[in-house]
Structure 1
Amino acid sequence: MSKSNFFISAFIKSIWIGFIVGIGSLVLYVYFVSINFLGLFGPMPSLEALENPKSEVASELYTADNVLLGKYFKENRTPVDFEKLSPNLVNALTATEDSRFEEHSGIDLRGMGRVFFKTIILGQRNSGGGSTLSQQLAKNLFQTRSALYKGKLSKGTLGKVIFKTKEWITAVKIERAYTKKEIMTMYLNTVDFGSNSFGIEVASKTFFNTTPDSLKIEEAAVLVGLLKAPTTYSPVFNPDSSTSRRNTVISQMAKYGYLTSIKADSIKKLPIALDYNVENHNKGSATYFRSLITSYLIPWCRERGLDLYSDGLKIYTTLDSKMQKYAEESVASHMKEEQRKFFEHWKGKSPWTDEQGKVIPNFIETAAKRSDRYRALKLQYGNDTVKIMKVMKTPIKMKIFSWDGEIDTLMSPIDSIKYYKHFLHCGFMAMDPHSGYIKAWVGGIDHKHFKYDHVKQGKRQPGSTFKPFVYASAIDLGYSPCYELPDLPVTFPTADVNKTWTPQNSNGEGFTGEMFTLRKAMANSINSITANLMKEIGPQVVVNNAKRMGITSPLDPVPALCLGVSDVSIYELVGAYGTFVNNGFWTEPFFITKIEDKNGNVLQEFIPKSVEVFDEETAYLMVHMLKGATEEKGGTALGLNKYGLLWNGYEIGGKTGTTQNYSDGWFMGITPKLVAGAWVGGDDRCIHFRSMDLGQGARMAMPLWAIFMKKVFADSTLGLIKERFPRPSKLSVEIDCKRYKEKSSQHSDSLQQKHQQVLPIEF
């Protein structure tokens, strides 16, 4: 062999040796990375993690009729199946992010070669990336660049190489474990599109108010364009950049044959037509309900090792989407009008007054000290109230609530508190008395600006809406609705031996001396009759029955309880009134029927508590009593006829309630299949109307109930047909008052015997 041939042979041999050593070193390096040799490279995603990849999935809250109410999330993500992906979306993603997606096995060697040659050798920018969808999925799904996967060598440029290697290895494993459709679906379900939307399902709704299967070409191109940089190419915040990026995606679709050039050119000329709406807990239906139910769900999840905000639970509630919609509409229409009246009523004056009508000194300053802003400033300035109040009185930019929409304004925190104290608030709840299903729940006038829930959190004096507990206790002892008592003063001793208490009638006209049947007395809401009855049967009996009917709030067994002086909630009252309609059984109002995991497995089904309080006869007699408000002369609910609810085939019972100084207006209404209650008043008891004409429950609360029921009755799909309350086949107590008078002597004897048999119940 000649010397030249020897050197050529040696050179070729050295190249082969170098190639083989290089390949061997690469294989060995990849192997060492895959096993985390000596802890140098950091761990890889486990086989279990690859087989069961976990991403944060929003838990979803549904109505009984399967309408999505809202979500609980850290990252707002809802998975979608491949069959629900628009071909436009799949094509746009493939053309832009991984044109050889169907050909490679996780690593695109041609793409990597292009990047190496153009970016590294020629130094060109924007020459395209070499990462496949599988590699991007590995990075997104397993967070391979996080601290969890770092090793001793995971620093600087070498660390980046190691991370990239892990993504290659993981991508290959993903390709072996899943089909191309599954990889495409997982990718689109995990990526961040910006605007608090994670995954294609949420992104489609957020930007275009549509679903992934309905995305048009131009819409799909916008969303795929966002993947490069969600903020930079946001159609909301950077519309020009978004349009340019969208057109690049469309050009890619044409390049790879998914569109004709003519079609692509025509689509590029279209403007981006957004229907933008970012989901949050202040928007959508049943916002107060959703917030309050969280207090139940969080401990429920904690006990089971679940995360409400990331485990993709499906919570099915009792709410009816249509009734909820009607309730929210009714609150909005009625409260807007009430607020108009309230502003006019107090025009130029401060509504926070004492019982003498004088403005309460330092009321706003005291309220300010309870605000979150004041507490934050106190942490900053300590007890230096001068500095704190200086900040509190300095105007700043803010959005404030109004019934005509949010207002951008310049206002000091003190003035904003003063502004908000002028607003009336409300709470409304409707329930099926037989099943206990809560059908509608509106906790206030606007959840964004007023977080406090007035259905269950809020407790106020119920006024005359508590009277049915007194009458029910009497009926249960054998009294007839026709039993008569005189409208005369009733005096009770008090704890102070030198003082007595004599309740006055609410009409301000004193006592008439007229004899009233119990039914008419309750229908007319005569205080003296209720007080007389309370004196006959005793406060403890009333408390005992109210507790059986679901009133959990403290009730003082004092004579004044007959006029509703102990605070209760709408939630409690609606449940209690349901006892009358449900044949004497109190069924606990409840709001969840079942909870499933993200795979549809039922974790728990819920059954409400039910307790027999009265027999069927007592319950029906109380229904008959409550109907008196809509049937007896002078009944406080006769105003419902203004809304076309009376004397047209619907049977309705009700009870109004008004507290001292008109601080609270109530209405409780019953129908054969629905019981509902409404409260209206100021956040503080000192904020109220100053006249019975404006401040009584029949004016403040009853119209809200009426507007709601009119909508419900008009919707035939809800099944609230014209029907009568079911009546027992036989009644031992006479309700025909003419016949009752003829039997009054015998009735009195039996009543006395039954009364003597009642024993007190301790709670």
Structure 2
Amino acid sequence: MKKYIPKKYVPKKNWLQRDMAFYKRKFWQFLFYGLGFIILFFLLASWGVFGSMPSFEELENPESNLATEIISSDGVTIGKFYNENRTMVKYEALPKHLVNALVATEDERFYEHSGIDGKRTIGAAVRLGTSGGASTITQQLAKLLFHGEGSRFPLFRLVQKAKEWIIAVRLERQYTKNEIIAMYLNKADFVNTAVGIRSAAKVYFNKEPKDLSVEESAMLVGMLKNPSLFNPIRRMEKTRLRRNVVLGQMVKNKFLTEAEKQELENKPIVLDFHPESHKEGIATYFREYLREFMKKWVKDNPKPDGSDYDIYSDGLKIYVTLDSRMQEYAEEAVSKHLPNLQVEFDNQQKDNKNRPFVRISDAETQKIMMSAMKNSDRWKEMEANGKSEEDIIKSFGVKTKMTVFTWKGEKDTVMTPTDSIRYYKGFLQTGMMAMEPRTGHIKAWVGGMNYKYFQYDHVGQGARQVGSTFKPFVYATAIEQLNYSPCDSILDSPFTIPKGRHHVTETWTPNNSDHQYRGMVTLKKALALSINTVSAKLIDKVGPEAVIDLTHKLGVKSEIPAQPSIALGAVEITVMDMVAAYSTFANQGVYMKPQFISRIEDKNGTLIYEPMPESHDVLNKDVAFAVIRLLEGVTESGSGVRLRTQGGGYGYERVTGYPYVFKNPIAGKTGTSQNQSDGWFVGMVPNLAAGVWVGCEDRSARFKSITYGQGAVAALPIWGMFMKKCYEDKDLDVSTKDFERPSNLSIKVDCWAPVQKDSTAVDSTAQDTDEFEIQ
């Protein structure tokens, strides 16, 4: 039995004992409730009370905004369609030193923790974040994948951080460490259109990630801290210093020796900058043509669930027929030839008060200028803002600062918008395409000389007057219907088609461009010298309708008037259609529709589209080979003979890039439209055909004389430079052999009497010029 002790005899606790007991009780209460609150807080966050959390399925397949890749036939990515320029790569494609640099700099205990580094977290909390954050690579990935940067408000930031920790732990359970590394590097933004490590390697160094050097990897890892601050394009020195910090971290974590670090940190940053924007890089015009095709394709080819593919975010792989090497050679040929030709064009414009327009009235000039003004962005924007037409027109006369295109690069200047329109109208433009005759595969496509400033595509979009390049269609019709051969003779003499015949409304008497008549000539010589009277006589015999019918069978989609003047090229046709039509002759009379896509795969590599070749018979093999023989005569003794000579003569060397000195069989035809507005050359070897057009945007802007305006000088050199580079690249295997001769050939094609070279065939009055009146 407990002995009773009166209260007055119980010793009293001093104030310290009483306070200690109170604080102990409060401490345990605080700890209990605090831990309970934290546990509850994290539970609520994981249950989605503070906002949705990713499901198991979302963790298994985290949403990624993946760019669609355009991959050439030789395996090179030549462009992308994207909202974010991201292309996924697997861990195995990453160099070991890149991974080491990342771990050493961003998360030294990455392989030891399970998503959250407790030591760093406690350390950051004790130092109140003054020495940097405690986010692991996995936490950074969680932030990038599922909830962005978060809010600046402390409470919201706390919620975001909790969600980040939860997602990080789940990611660690779902993925291996290597997969997390790859996902993080694929998601990171490196600015300058580079999202993800593969894009960054291509944009900054024009390499695949596996080919990055140690110092290049260190630079990219250094950018992750703040890509805008450590942007090598804008802040090279800051970026270099940050790179060296990464190299120091690699030494600290024993991934590099001190000696290796000292050698690497003394190296400058050497960039090979290739921004992957829609308006830069190679094959820009082709990529835009492809984009328009894909916009229609997605409507006709839905996903299995019925929704449309998104070419900007679904990570498709479009395998195209273009060869990146041929594309580069084609663009190089254009960039070499056109600036030289532009000099001659500008020289002819020096005394022209209405430059670049030649021999047109003030009213015609005003019409051209007004049309350009109304099609400009300035007009459309001001009109959308409610400005009157009078105010808009007035604004075109006010000088303003602008950056303009020059052949030597961009230039800042001050001029009126009206003057800038005239300025751009004076630039020579071009369209060039190459394709394989037997497959229809397009191998090169140059729609212009600079897509950023000139976005009109002169390959698939722009039809221009073809001049004498149309004549082979007339000759082919005559050979097929009249059983002519290249060796048959015809009289070159003045010729008139009377009013009423073939729907001619007025008497038509075509002239030869040199006003000479040669008497009896073979068809081979007549085409080689591009004799107008012979073409007129042939179309008179077969009728324009027969020529039009054959031309359409050759794949030409243009509307062609049923008039004899088409024999001299009074027809507007695209470069694409001309190359495909000529290719039919090289393919033994079988037309192959030009094809630019090989296949399309989804982001998982599953085939979702593979086009079938489209072809049809147009001519029998004998007729097609006879036309080839005719076209070979053009490069043996006609305006195309420049392809075989040591020099062009008449001072052309500075413009044309001579000599080419091709010795192999080449079938081709030059063409020059009336008034030298359009220069053409379409040429073929057995396994490659290419066509080139050169001229200004408006037909009224042209050369004053034929010396440089003819197809043999304006267009043929681009073909020659392109083919010369193709032949130098032995991996391309461009043929130097004869065209395939049909067995039991029934048409005489070997005219044993040598074709005499005409003295006027290569001078300044070359024979590919046409004079005609459209009736």
Interval of TM-score (by shorter of Structure 1 and Structure 2): 0.7 to 0.9
Distance 1:347 1:317 in 2: 44
Q: 1:50 to 1:573 in 2, by over 3 A?
A: same
Q: CA deviation at 1:612?
A: 0.5
- Structure 1 stretch displaced more, 705-714 or 607-616: 705-714
Distance 2:175 2:750 in 1: 77
Q: CA deviation at 1:87?
A: 3.6
RMSD: 3.0
Per the alignment, residue 469 of structure 2 pairs with 465
What is the one-letter code of the residue matched to 2:417? P
Q: CA deviation at 1:42?
A: 1.6
What is the one-letter code of the residue matched to 2:740? P
Distance 2:384 2:570 in 1: 38
The superposition leaves residues 685-705 of structure 1 with CA deviations (integer Å, 9 ceiling, x where unpaired) of 111112222222222212222
- Structure 1 stretch displaced more, 267-276 or 556-565: 267-276
Per the alignment, residue 190 of structure 1 pairs with 187
Q: 1:498 to 1:549 in 2, by over 3 A?
A: closer
- Structure 1 stretch displaced more, 717-726 or 538-547: 717-726
- Structure 1 stretch displaced more, 576-585 or 11-20: 11-20
Q: CA deviation at 1:217?
A: 4.6
Per the alignment, residue 731 of structure 2 pairs with 717
What is the one-letter code of the residue matched to 1:471? Y
Q: CA deviation at 1:44?
A: 0.5
Per the alignment, residue 160 of structure 2 pairs with 163
2:660/2:724 contact within 8 Å kept: no
Per the alignment, residue 438 of structure 2 pairs with 434
Q: CA deviation at 1:356?
A: 6.3
1:354/1:360 contact within 8 Å kept: no
* 1:75 equivalenced with 2:52 (yes/no): no
Q: CA deviation at 1:19?
A: 3.5
1:60/1:70 contact within 8 Å kept: yes
Q: CA deviation at 1:457?
A: 0.6
- Structure 1 gap segments, 5+ residues each: 120-124, 147-153, 740-763
Distance 2:263 2:324 in 1: 41
- Structure 1 stretch displaced more, 159-168 or 206-215: 206-215
Aligned residue runs from structure 1 range 228-307, under 5 A = 228-259=225-256, 271-302=268-299, 303-304=301-302, 305-307=308-310
Q: CA deviation at 1:357?
A: 8.2
Q: 1:640 to 1:491 in 2, by over 3 A?
A: same
Could you tell me which of 335, 340, 343 is aligned with 2:343? 340
- Structure 1 stretch displaced more, 577-586 or 22-31: 22-31
- Structure 2 gap segments, 5+ residues each: 3-9, 303-307, 648-658, 754-775
* 1:227 equivalenced with 2:232 (yes/no): no
Q: 1:425 to 1:19 in 2, by over 3 A?
A: same
Per the alignment, residue 315 of structure 2 pairs with 312
Per the alignment, residue 27 of structure 1 pairs with 39
What is the one-letter code of the residue matched to 2:112? E
Q: Give 3-state SS (helix, strand or coil) of 2:573's partner.
A: coil
The superposition leaves residues 82-133 of structure 1 with CA deviations (integer Å, 9 ceiling, x where unpaired) of 23333433233223322221111112222221222211xxxxx632112211
Aligned residue runs from structure 1 range 321-332, under 5 A = 321-332=324-335
1:144/1:167 contact within 8 Å kept: no
Q: Give 3-state SS (helix, strand or coil) of 2:608's partner.
A: strand
Q: CA deviation at 1:227?
A: 1.9
Distance 1:462 1:301 in 2: 35
Aligned residue runs from structure 1 range 397-546, under 5 A = 397-481=401-485, 482-486=487-491, 487-493=493-499, 499-509=505-515, 512=517, 514-546=519-551
Could you tell me which of 710, 715, 720 is aligned with 1:696? 710
Per the alignment, residue 88 of structure 1 pairs with 97
2:645/2:661 contact within 8 Å kept: no
What is the one-letter code of the residue matched to 2:743? S
Distance 1:201 1:257 in 2: 26
Distance 2:504 2:345 in 1: 41
Q: CA deviation at 1:69?
A: 1.1
Q: Give 3-state SS (helix, strand or coil) of 1:477's partner.
A: helix
The superposition leaves residues 227-255 of structure 1 with CA deviations (integer Å, 9 ceiling, x where unpaired) of 22221232332345434444444444444
Distance 2:321 2:296 in 1: 20
Q: Give 3-state SS (helix, strand or coil) of 1:568's partner.
A: strand
2:191/2:227 contact within 8 Å kept: yes
Distance 1:441 1:542 in 2: 28
* 1:135 equivalenced with 2:164 (yes/no): no
Could you tell me which of 630, 634, 639 is aligned with 1:636? 639
- Structure 1 stretch displaced more, 585-594 or 344-353: 344-353
Distance 2:628 2:78 in 1: 34
- Structure 1 stretch displaced more, 605-614 or 401-410: 401-410
What is the one-letter code of the residue matched to 1:32? L
Could you tell me which of 58, 77, 83 is aligned with 1:49? 58
Q: 1:265 to 1:629 in 2, by over 3 A?
A: closer
Q: 1:445 to 1:643 in 2, by over 3 A?
A: farther
Q: Give 3-state SS (helix, strand or coil) of 1:165's partner.
A: helix
Q: 1:573 to 1:136 in 2, by over 3 A?
A: same
The superposition leaves residues 361-389 of structure 1 with CA deviations (integer Å, 9 ceiling, x where unpaired) of 4344543333222322333352252x434
TM-score normalised according to structure 1 size: 0.87
Q: CA deviation at 1:215?
A: 4.1
Distance 2:244 2:660 in 1: 62
Q: CA deviation at 1:390?
A: 4.5
Could you tell me which of 741, 749, 772 is aligned with 1:727? 741
Q: Give 3-state SS (helix, strand or coil) of 1:661's partner.
A: helix
The superposition leaves residues 409-434 of structure 1 with CA deviations (integer Å, 9 ceiling, x where unpaired) of 33332222222111111111111101
* 1:665 equivalenced with 2:679 (yes/no): yes
What is the one-letter code of the residue matched to 1:640? L
TM-score normalised according to structure 2 size: 0.86
Q: CA deviation at 1:584?
A: 0.9
Distance 1:648 1:364 in 2: 44
Per the alignment, residue 382 of structure 2 pairs with 377
1:643/1:706 contact within 8 Å kept: no
Could you tell me which of 620, 624, 638 is aligned with 2:625? 620
Per the alignment, residue 179 of structure 1 pairs with 176
Aligned residue runs from structure 1 range 117-128, under 5 A = 117-119=126-128, 126-128=130-132
Q: CA deviation at 1:135?
A: 1.2
Per the alignment, residue 99 of structure 1 pairs with 108
What is the one-letter code of the residue matched to 1:192? D
What is the one-letter code of the residue matched to 2:688? L
Q: Which runs of 4+ in 1 moved over 6 A?
A: 1-11, 356-359, 495-498, 644-648
Distance 1:100 1:513 in 2: 90
The alignment of Structure 1 onto Structure 2 pairs a total of residues equal to: 720
Q: 1:44 to 1:399 in 2, by over 3 A?
A: same
1:666/1:677 contact within 8 Å kept: yes
Q: 1:45 to 1:655 in 2, by over 3 A?
A: same
- Structure 1 stretch displaced more, 679-688 or 523-532: 523-532
What is the one-letter code of the residue matched to 1:557? A
What is the one-letter code of the residue matched to 1:93? L
Distance 1:693 1:572 in 2: 27
Q: 1:245 to 1:637 in 2, by over 3 A?
A: closer
Q: Give 3-state SS (helix, strand or coil) of 2:290's partner.
A: helix
What is the one-letter code of the residue matched to 2:311? L
Per the alignment, residue 753 of structure 1 pairs with none
Distance 1:356 1:299 in 2: 41
Q: CA deviation at 1:461?
A: 1.2
The superposition leaves residues 555-614 of structure 1 with CA deviations (integer Å, 9 ceiling, x where unpaired) of 222222222222110100110111111111000111111112222222222232010111
Q: Give 3-state SS (helix, strand or coil) of 2:385's partner.
A: helix
